Structure 1
Amino acid sequence: MREGGWFLAPIWVIGGAAWWWWRWRKGREKEEERREKKIPKGSKGWPLIGETLDFIACGFSSRPVRFMDRRRDLYGKVFQTHLLGKAIAVSTDAEVNRAVLTSDGFVPSYPRSVAELLGKDSILQAEGALHRRVHGVIGGFLKSASAKAAVAAELEHCVLKSLSQWPQKGLVFVQDETKEVCMSCRKNIYLFMFWAITGAESDVTFVPFWITFPVLVKVLMGMGPGEDLDYLKDQFQEFVAGLICLPIKLPGTRLSRSLKAKEGVQRTINKIVQAKVQDGQYVMARDVVDVLINESITNKLTEMPTSLISSILAELMLPGEHSVPMMMTLAVKYLTDKPLALEKLREENLTLRRKKVNAGEPYTWSDYMSLNFTHHVINEALRMANIVNGVWRKAIKDIEIKGYLIPKDWSVLASFSSVHFDEQNYPDPYEFNPGRWEKGVCGSKFTPFGGGQRLCPGQDISRLEICIFLHHLVTRYSWVAEEDEIVSFPIVKMKKKMPIRVSPISF
């Protein structure tokens, strides 16, 4: 038997292998079970459309975060769903959102409608050295004291010129008028930024004048009046209208029409960019196109193709077109509905105005930043408005946050609006209450400008614009508003454009 014992060897080998396979299989099953428990729960809804229809329906209601609230109550603060053609995990948790914004394990990943309309060269979706360089170029120009002083003076000039015309207009539509204010302000701010980038800061002289879309395009691309400008304006408005829509490209759909408009915008911009490219030679910067071309020439690490330059130009038009003007409009709406807050705001700003008038001094950046209650009003308006209601990211590896596992390649929507309307973060969240900000700001629970490396580089100037607008509005005028309501989808706006009648007041 001993001599023939070697016949048992294969049995021992097979038996041992089977035992180890069984152990490995059980271990894997336990690991998968533990993994499944950590993956966000939820429902993906109907085939293809997922839960998009419910999402849109809630968006049109008076409480658009109701979609998130329902699922948070069912599945927890992080849940999975299917929206706008994309399966995603949604976070309504402030700490998880902060991790998504700051972690290198997440990269931009937007709904198909946004991704297709902005294109692969969009700076919104850019990563690495290119994103850091463009972000730095756009955001770095306001670091010097001279820059802040010049920008504050220009903003004030544009606001005063606009407001002076309101009493004579009878019925004023605030949503339209504030858009004109912001376009005018941004014209010279853009000019200053581009001169500052090229090192000519000391030579900057602002030449204020009244503009709308045509002059903004003149500053960005050097385009003057004519058929091309008229065509670009029409196509740009059609393009923006489809940024949030169902990802269906059938003829006649919203996305199809916007994609066609985008082609028109790109053709027009590309024609201008191509005409300005002079065999790779550095040129004197007269507009944004020149600055970006020069940046591409002098910094080979972040060389910019003409398609990227065109995308940057299109995206630079968006803030003046919607975000800040809408915040000004909503601030007027919220203050109209809360007369006690309006009175307190007026008292604080009248105190500053009397001080400046009696001393015969011009306003400074610091003066506007010293208006504590005014900034409480701005914070509260930002919290309630949620112009940017969230950001979309994709996990490039398995990431565990606060007990939740976000698997590799999963998309994540970090919902800012859900955090801003969470009663655990803000008692009576649907109540406009600037006084709640007297205790300070909790960074992770207040993210109107995003966060991390993609924190909006224009947040300071946006706050300043709103502050200057409110200061001169409430210290020089009173108003009576007609009934109006806020629409939150597909973009935040007023249903009737916020009509008011304005009268001068003495101080």
Structure 2
Amino acid sequence: MLLPVEQPEIPILKAGSQITGADPVILLLTVLLAPIIVILLVSRLWITEKKNGGDSKLPPGDKGWPIVGSTFSLFKPHPATTLGDFLNLQLSRYGKIFSTSYLGRTLVISADPEFNRFVLQNELRLFQNDLPSHIKTILGEGNLSFMTGETYKSTKSLVLGFFNSWQIQTRFLAEVEEAAKRVMTSWRQKSLILANEELSKARNFIFSIVKIKAEDRKRNSDKMDGKESDLIQYHLKNNPSLSMQSICDSVIGLIFATLFNTQISVALAMYFLGQCPKALQQLREEFQQKMNDTGTTGKLTWDDYKNMEFCQSVINETLRFGNIVPGLWRKTLSDIDFKGYTIPQGTTVMTNIAAMHLDPSAFENPNIFDPWRWLVMKKSNNWMPFGGGVRQCNGSEIARMEIAVFLRHLILNYNWELDEPDHPIAFPLITFPKDLPIRIHPLVEKTA
């Protein structure tokens, strides 16, 4: 039986009555707080009404509360396969381009594919990178992501030179496959794993290792016989003007980007495939067919990887539905005119990739994991998991190859199911609250 909740008595202050006990404190707080509350409410109403006033050339939108703006709503955790309440509400009210406020600064958010490609393709000319400051703490200010101008161009050219097609198709493919085999072998001693590895707070440890190796390469550069055995040595030989800090930051940034993309993508694929037995079975059959084609060696070739059509479709759909990079942040270098709007110089613009990926006008039933859609569609202007323009992810091909290799060895060796409910959350990067606890079952015979 439900019992009524006893309501506390509220003291009534009558005219001429004497104030005693805690009453003076309450009265003082009321006197002090009332004007602040009134100011906040009036400001809130004024800002809402002002959205089509003095800033009429900006895209329409609600700037939120004074100072904090819409910060808390914008970064509120939500399922990674959705846009969250805030974005859904703003898009329904104002359309695919709207404005709001973020920590006292105007923020324009776009789910418009045409505008987003315009922003990303005009990097370094009309826009510059404007990642939130906390990302610098993780990757380091010397990371490629924060470089601009000629420094960015020369360093990116250096990185692309190292990650060339020949390296990826031969050396990196073989190394990734060996790594995948070791991981799968280690899992045979376990019945329960946490598929989503925790990577945060590891930068200082990785930095110390990279720095030691970089300094050792520099001291012994004359003994390397011209061999560019790794990215550190490649930096030292081809860009000797870079500081040790910049070299370490560059290498660490690539490590984090590659590890995070691969780790979270495989975890998302395991999560999605675990709920879609038909896709899992078709993928296993494709992997097994390639195993039969290669004969006794079982080694994956680059042609095998590129020709695994359904595997490529699963990767595409995982990247679309999982939204590993929900948005990219840029700042205008001059006033930008677009579709009747004017975005002033110095304004932060977020190209919202997740909104493009979940747009029903571009993807039929976008809230369903459907890898078969890519067998028909192949490409979409709304699909941008690796960004675009000059800052498109340097390691996109490596990341895709790593995902394919790990999925191949996983699916040919194991079945699995969730040990307890878990789901991907955008916070703002993708994570699993319980680290995706998976109970694994080795197949009867090891096949890869």
Q: Could you state the TM-score of these two structures normalised by the residue count of structure 2?
A: 0.77
Q: After superposition, what is the alpha-carbon deviation per residue over 1:326-371, rounded to whole angstroms, capped at 9, x for unaligned?
A: 100110110001111111111222211122236x564211101101
SS in 2 for 1:434: coil
Letter in 1 for 2:429: I
Report the secondary structure of 1:165's partner residue: helix
**Which residue among 430, 434, 441 is the counterpart of 1:502?**
441
- 1:448 is matched with which residue? 385
Q: Structure 1 147/385 Cα, relative in aligned 2: closer, same or farther at 3 Å?
A: closer
User: Which residue in the other structure is 2:345 paired with?
Assistant: 408
What residue identity is the alignment partner of 2:72? L
Which of 135, 138, 152 is the equivalent residue of 2:173?
Answer: 152
CA contact (8 A) 1:174 1:329 kept: yes
Residue type of the alignment partner of 1:131: Y
Please identify runs of 4+ aligned residues in structure 1 that moved more than 6 A.
Answer: 264-278
The corresponding residue for 1:83 is 102
Alignment: residue pair count: 388
Contact 2:162–2:231 (CA under 8 A) maintained in structure 1: no
Task: Quote the offset at 1:62 in angstroms.
Answer: 6.7
Are residues 1:419 and 2:318 paired? no
Matched, 1:491 2:429: yes
Q: Measure the CA separation in 2 of the matches of 1:123 and 1:63.
A: 30
2:394 to 452, 457, 477: 457
- The yes-or-no answer on 1:163 pairing with 2:184 is yes
Aligned counterparts, 1:459-474, within 5 A = 459-474=396-411
Matches of residues 95-494 of structure 1 in structure 2 within 5 Å? Answer: 95-103=114-122, 104-115=125-136, 118=139, 120-145=141-166, 147-176=168-197, 237-238=200-201, 284=224, 288-297=231-240, 303-357=241-295, 362-482=299-419, 483-494=421-432
- Larger proportion of helix: 1
For 2:63, which of 44, 56, 59 is the aligned residue? 44
Residue in 1 aligned with 2:90?
Answer: 71
Aligned residue type for 1:67:
F
Residues 134, 142 of structure 1: alpha-carbon distance in 2 compared, 3 angstrom cutoff: same
Contact 1:42 1:79 in 2 (8 A): yes
Report the alpha carbon displacement of residue 116 of structure 1 after superposing the two structures with TM: 6.0
Q: Aligned equivalents of 1:142 and 1:415: distance in 2?
A: 28
> 1:504 corresponds to which letter in structure 2?
L
Which residue of structure 1 lines up, in the alignment, with residue 9 of structure 2? none
Query: 1:373 corresponds to which letter in structure 2?
Result: F
Q: Which amino acid aligns with 1:501?
A: I
Give the C-alpha shift of residue 68 in structure 1.
1.7
The 2-side partners of 1:119 and 1:165 are apart by 33
Partner of 1:194: none
Change in Cα spacing, 1:70 to 1:456, as seen in structure 2 (3 Å) is same
Gaps of 5+ in 1: 1-32, 180-235, 241-261, 298-302
TM-superposed deviation, 1:60:
6.2
Distance of 1:308 and 1:405 partners within structure 2: 37
User: 3-state SS of the aligned residue for 2:412?
Assistant: helix
CA distance in 2, matches of 1:290, 1:146: 15
Is contact 1:97–1:414 with CA below 8 Å preserved after alignment? yes
Q: CA separation of 1:372/1:272 partners in 2, compared to 1, >3 Å: closer, same or farther?
A: closer
Distance 1:449 1:44 in 2: 29
Identify the match of residue 57 of structure 1 among 49, 72, 76. Answer: 76
Q: Which moved more, 1:110-119 or 1:264-273?
A: 264-273
| CA distance in 2 between partners of 1:286 and 1:352 (Å) | 31
- Contact 1:86 1:112 (8 Å CA) reproduced: no
Structure 1 Cα separation of the partners of residues 80 and 404 of structure 2: 29
Q: Distance in 2 between matches of 1:118 and 1:86?
A: 24
Q: Distance in 2 between matches of 1:88 and 1:52?
A: 10
Letter in 2 for 1:172: I
> What residue in structure 1 maps to residue 18 of structure 2?
none
Distance 1:273 1:504, change over 3 A: closer
- Within 2, Cα distance between the matches of 1:47 and 1:265? 40
CA distance in 2, matches of 1:275, 1:161: 28
Distance in 1, matches of 2:202 and 2:119, equals: 29
Which stretch of the first structure deviates more once superposed, 370-379 or 68-77? 68-77
For residue 258 of structure 1, what is the aligned residue in structure 2? none
Is the contact made by 1:174 and 1:500 (CA closer than 8 Å) also made in structure 2?
no
Maintained 8 Å contact 1:58/1:67? no
After superposition, the Cα gap between the structure-2 partners of 1:361 and 1:119, relative to the gap in structure 1 and judged at 3 Å, is: closer
Against the structure 1 CA distance between its residues 38 and 283, is the aligned structure 2 distance closer, same or farther, given a 3 Å change threshold?
farther
TM-score by length of 1: 0.69
List gaps (5 residues or longer) in structure 2.
1-51
Alpha carbons of 1:323 and 1:484: their partners in 2 closer, same or farther (altered >3 Å)?
A: same
**SS at structure 1 position matched to 2:329:** strand
Q: What displacement does 1:88 show?
A: 1.2
Q: Does the CA-based 8 Å contact 1:142-1:148 persist in structure 2?
A: no
Q: 1:270 to 1:365 in 2, by over 3 A?
A: closer
Letter in 1 for 2:169: K
Paired letter, 2:116 = N
Post-superposition CA distance 1:189-246 (Å, at most 9, x none) = xxxxxxxxxxxxxxxxxxxxxxxxxxxxxxxxxxxxxxxxxxxxxxx94376xxxxxx
- Are the structure 2 counterparts of residues 505 and 448 from structure 1 closer, same or farther at C-alpha, using a change threshold of 3 Å? farther
CA shift in 2, pair 1:426/1:164, >3 Å: same
